[in-house]
Amino acid sequence: MTGNTSGASFATQMTASANTTNGAAPPVGLVKDTTTATFQRDVLEESTRQPVLVDFWAPWCGPCKQLQPIIERVVAESNGRVKLVKLNIDDHPSIPGQLGIQSIPAVIAFVGGRPVDGFMGAVPESQVRAFIDKVAGPAVDDAEVQIEAALEDAKTQFDAGDLAAAADIYGAVLQADPENTKALAGMAECMLAAGQWERSRDLIASLSDEQKADPAIAALSAKLAHIEEARKLGDPRALEQELAADPDNHEARVKLAKILNVEGDREAATDHLISIMKRDRTWDEDGARRQLLQFLDVWGFKDPASVAARRKMSAILFS
């Protein structure tokens, strides 16, 4: 299965995220110098979109030189949660004067156009991180966010019928996180939908017991079991001829329902089992109802076929 560039794009994003976390230069715009003239735009207006830290410093200030590389590094690693703006108080004394800043280095956090918190002095890196968490909220694992977004994208592609694109994205997720159960289930589902049921079966067989217990994997296992069973049930045309000759051949009707289910005709599969329930509820100890319940477990509670089947079944059971 080959597809579009969605998977490659995701892998590229993962690499870029890793480079930032490993201490590469911050994205353009996260750290900048400001002036009295641009303070309104750089700080007050920008802080309505995200927290902005203002570092008040001066060239002659030794502690300022100790703090700046620390705070710049932490801001770079925050992946855009905050921005850092530096103001040289020697060149631009009016703003620090208005804020009552009498000692440097001083860092003031602005949110919504107003100063909300701050600290003074060359504090250790751990304190800078804690300060950013306080004003911007705790850090979120950027790679985890990207994976969840990619999984949603893959499901959208799958639901739209683009199996190749979905498989590419699931493959990219598995490159980043080989044990991701959602991606493994998605990849197996793509194989199954593409008619590669043996590859899907082998993939699921390779998983750990814990992964096999996941609801999505368990549902796929049940679906594969139905496929393997249906392959042994015979020719559906021959079964239809048997039913035409004897409509009460319930065994043939159940076999045909199983085959139709595997072929994706859930409505017809349901109708055959409902037909047995109408004719003889006692057959095989209510076997038709039990078989339909097995189908519903695999289809899922919200599947339209499940909703319709439950409605038809209720009409018989409670009439």
pLDDT for 144-165, tens place per residue? 778 888 899 999 999 898 999 9
The predicted model gives 100-129 an average pLDDT of 93
Q: What is the distance between the alpha carbons of residues 7 and 187, in angstroms, rounded to a whole number?
A: 13
Structure tokens given for 218: 């368990």
Q: What is the distance between the alpha carbons of residues 167 and 190, in angstroms, rounded to a whole number?
A: 6
| pLDDT, greater one: 229 or 128 | 128
Q: What is the distance between the alpha carbons of residues 314 and 62, in angstroms, rounded to a whole number?
A: 80
Give residue limits of the domains in the chain.
34-136, 236-317
CATH number of 34-136: 3.40.30.10
pLDDT at 141: 55
pLDDT at 56: 96
The predicted model gives 103-132 an average pLDDT of 93
Least confident of 130-139, 165-174, 295-304: 130-139
The residues assigned a catalytic role are 61, 64
The predicted model gives 165-173 an average pLDDT of 92
The predicted model gives 284-307 an average pLDDT of 92
CATH number of 236-317: 1.25.40.10
Give the residue ranges of DSSP H helices in the chain: 6-21, 39, 62-77, 94-98, 125-136, 142-159, 163-176, 181-193, 197-205, 209-212, 215-230, 236-245, 250-263, 266-279, 287-299, 304-317
The predicted model gives 279-300 an average pLDDT of 92
- Percentage of residues of the chain with pLDDT beyond 70: 89
For the chain, the straight-line distance linking the first and the last C-alpha, in angstroms and rounded, comes to 49
pLDDT at 268: 94
- Is residue 25 within 8 A of residue 151, CB to CB? The reply is no
Residue 96: pLDDT above 70? yes
